[in-house]
Amino acid sequence: MFDHLQAQKPDGILMLMQMYRDDPRDSKVDLGVGVYKDASGNTPIMRAIKTAEEQLWHAETTKTYVGLAGAPDFNDAMVKLVLADAVPRAAVNSVATPGGTGAVRQAFELAKMASPGGRVFVSNPTWPNHVSILDYLGMEKVMYRYFDDETRGVDFDGMIADLKQARKGDLILLHGCCHNPTGANLTDPQWDEVIKVLHDTGATPMIDIAYQGFGDGLDADASGTRKVAAAVPECLIAASCSKNFGIYRERTGILMLVAGGTDKTIAQGTLNFLNRQNYSFPPDHGARLVTMILNDDALRADWQAELEEMRTGMLGLREQLARELEQRSGSNRFGFLAQHRGMFSRLGAAPDAVVKMRDDSGIYMVGDSRMNIAGLNAQTIPVLADAIVKAGV
């Protein structure tokens, strides 16, 4: 039967990674892979994670399964981190998942069960795996305007006009902060406008928050998510610990269902059921480390201090790149780079300019000109700035 399998479309980012590895130039710069890097190009293990791992090694007495929903203390700690006091804890059902991707997949599965004919409104552009998973599940998607190629900011008027076409039973997928791939975020007043549309249409919001703490700080980055959760009768939230705890390979995430008016036993039972069908019990090692850090004052303080160093470091890189480009181009048209937040920015370069930067200067970024700001350092920023100007961006 396997001779009937068809070749799958290759992942563009994975292909870009291979091209980068095969490039012999010492001056090459990797801005494609979506992981945090320090100034040396390494993805470090955070100090608090190392300390927690050592403590866990001494204290852990079993490797038996946790429950289908994951460890309760992990769920409690993550709900508190993301939502704070925006909604009562009793109104939030949750399950631990294998990373943020697992949470997104489970959220889509849940939406399909709850509203089989519902559509999913997705920002244009969005993280490619959102679209890939929806296509695989056979769910109808509707792209809504989001990024303005001229201003490199949010096309908010277009976004609102498109979202007004949603209806009850539809899902509206929103990025909680640090929009991937553009880096362009909604303001607080814009979140309020989105909430009004949600009320008017009856559509259900789903928020993917994968970069909390990478933009303007832990609480500021969660403010939009908290506004929505507090204002609507029900919503889904997919959160990841990969970036802000640096535990990419531990696959640690959580899916939250905020629905105070829904039978809690049925809601939680359905989440547990979906976990059972996909992977049974979620992984616990990363979740255990996150729980230890969030529930220990000293570990949490060290984690937040290092996360803040990472966040401000990326802001510094953005500001330096914007300055270098202003000097070389003689204009402030790249000022948006200092305004964007998170690891990514969409440069707005044409595909041929992206290829030219790669061929001429060894600059590797995704074909739509998304670049990982964390892949830069003080020495490579001038190289990138020269390449951008020479490519005529």
Report, as residue numbers or ranges, the catalytic residues: 127, 208, 210, 243
Instruction: Count other C-beta atoms under 10 Å from residue 382's C-beta.
Output: 14
The answer for 297, left when phi > 0, alpha when psi is -120 to 50, beta otherwise, is alpha
The residues near 102 (Cβ < 8 Å, ≥ 6 apart) are 251, 253, 255, 278, 279, 282
Nearest of 2, 32, 21, 7 to residue 357 by alpha carbon: 32
**DSSP state letters, 115-156:** -TT--EEEEES--HHHHHHHHHHT--EEEEE-B-TTTSSB-H
Take residue 26 and report the two structure tokens written for it.
Answer: 């010492």
Closest CA to 389 of 334, 313, 308: 334
Distance between CA atoms of residues 334 and 357, nearest Å: 17
Bridge pairing between strands 29-30 and 363-364: parallel
Number of other residues whose CB lies within 10 A of the CB of residue 140:
10
| Count of residues making up the chain | 393
